[in-house]
């Protein structure tokens, strides 16, 4: 049983994730840590226990063979059939669909959140399972005992753990991608556990921005910076939002970091100009504020 009790320890754990190579010993645990930051005071223990139960229930199933197809069947039977996990199609944009604690409570969530539970249950058995770089809709790949290319399946945890065919994947591409509906090789690339968590947090960030909850969006970006510090885009987005809400010192820090790492931007000319303009605007606002403070001081002394 894992034990983390305070937000200080939560944040320390996220910092360790940021310093890692992207491979995590337990992705579901880190997803619970992220969830708990938005649910302070809620007991961690019952959610830890549920993660253990998922693994035990999968282990209790009797496999007739260790093929990827059979393993996928067992995962779907346990997570969807027994524990009733499914995609929240009725309220897809609900923020709670990306909070793993809430997903465990309601048994509904986003594709990436549900995938974390499937990955967790599979890996507890020693099975090879990984997330994919599929656009618009998160999927996982599960291997059989041989780990051979011919013995693997792609699962859709959002749709009850269904095993997808090439036709299913093409239809998903048409639905979620603006590009040509063909299946590109990079769609099948595995992503690291850290990238999965980034995708989870990006889902929350996007939903916060849709409803203009800039404070929560900034909070999410601070977590993205913590677990994925090498991705300069997080620093840029946080700096621009901080400048928008006139948190000038923090904005200057984030955007200054970007200027020091500008070579990491793909379109650094445009980005650099936007950052320079924002930093100039911050300086002008600070000067106006200082002048106003001086005038107020003189009035108080009169």
Residue 174 confidence (pLDDT) above 90: no
Q: Dump pLDDT digits (tens) for 200-225.
A: 999 999 999 999 999 999 999 999 99
Q: Dump pLDDT digits (tens) for 29-87.
A: 999 999 999 998 899 999 999 999 999 999 999 887 899 999 999 999 999 999 999 99
Structural domain includes residue 300: no
Looking up residue 243, the CATH number of its domain turns out to be: 1.25.40.10
Question: Token pair 């300069």 is at which residue?
Answer: 232
Residue-level pLDDT at 180: 59
**Burial category of 28 from C-beta neighbours within 10 Å (exposed 0-12, middle 13-18, buried 19 and up):** buried
Question: Token pair 């990436």 is at which residue?
Answer: 112
Last residue of a domain, one of 147, 167, 192: 192
CA distance 245 to 16: 29
Q: Are 275 and 248 in contact (CB under 8 A)?
A: no
Q: Which domain holds residue 19?
A: 7-192
Last residue of a domain, one of 170, 192, 214: 192
Residue-level pLDDT at 236: 95
CA distance 189 to 212: 33
Name the nearest CA neighbour of 143 among 227, 57, 75: 75
Last residue of a domain, one of 133, 166, 192: 192
pTM score, whole prediction: 0.90
**With bands split at pLDDT 50, 70 and 90, how would you rate the model's confidence at 161?**
very high
Structural domain includes residue 78: yes
């Amino acid at each position: 049983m894992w034990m983390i009790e305070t937000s200080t320890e939560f944040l320390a754990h996220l910092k360790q994730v940021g310093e890692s190579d992207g491979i995590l010993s337990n992705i579901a645990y880190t997803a619970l840590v992220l969830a708990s930051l938005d649910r302070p005071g809620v007991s961690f223990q019952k959610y830890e226990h549920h993660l253990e139960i998922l693994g035990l229930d999968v282990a209790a199933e009797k496999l007739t063979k260790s093929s990827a197809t059979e393993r996928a069947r067992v995962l779907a039977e346990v997570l969807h059939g027994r524990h009733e996990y499914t995609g929240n199609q009725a309220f897809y944009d609900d923020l709670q669909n990306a909070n793993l604690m809430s997903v465990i409570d309601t048994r509904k969530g986003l594709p990436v959140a549900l995938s974390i539970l499937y990955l967790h249950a599979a890996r507890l058995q020693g099975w090879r399972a990984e997330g994919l770089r599929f656009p618009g809709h998160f999927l996982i790949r599960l291997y059989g005992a041989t780990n051979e290319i011919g013995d693997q399946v792609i699962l859709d945890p959002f749709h009850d753990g269904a095993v997808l065919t090439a036709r299913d994947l093409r239809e998903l591409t048409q639905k979620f991608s603006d590009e040509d509906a063909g299946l590109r090789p990079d769609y099948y690339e595995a992503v690291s556990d850290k990238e999965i968590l980034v995708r989870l947090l990006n889902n929350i960030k996007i939903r916060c921005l849709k409803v203009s909850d800039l404070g929560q969006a900034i909070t999410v970006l601070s977590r993205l910076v913590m677990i994925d510090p090498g991705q300069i885009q997080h620093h840029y987005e946080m700096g621009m939002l901080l400048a928008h809400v006139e948190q000038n010192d923090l904005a200057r820090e984030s955007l200054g970091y970007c200027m020091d790492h500008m070579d990491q931007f793909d379109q650094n000319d445009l980005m650099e100009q936007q950052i320079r303009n924002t930093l100039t605007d911050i300086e002008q606002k600070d000067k106006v504020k200082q002048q106003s403070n001086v005038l107020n001081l003189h009035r108080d002394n009169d």
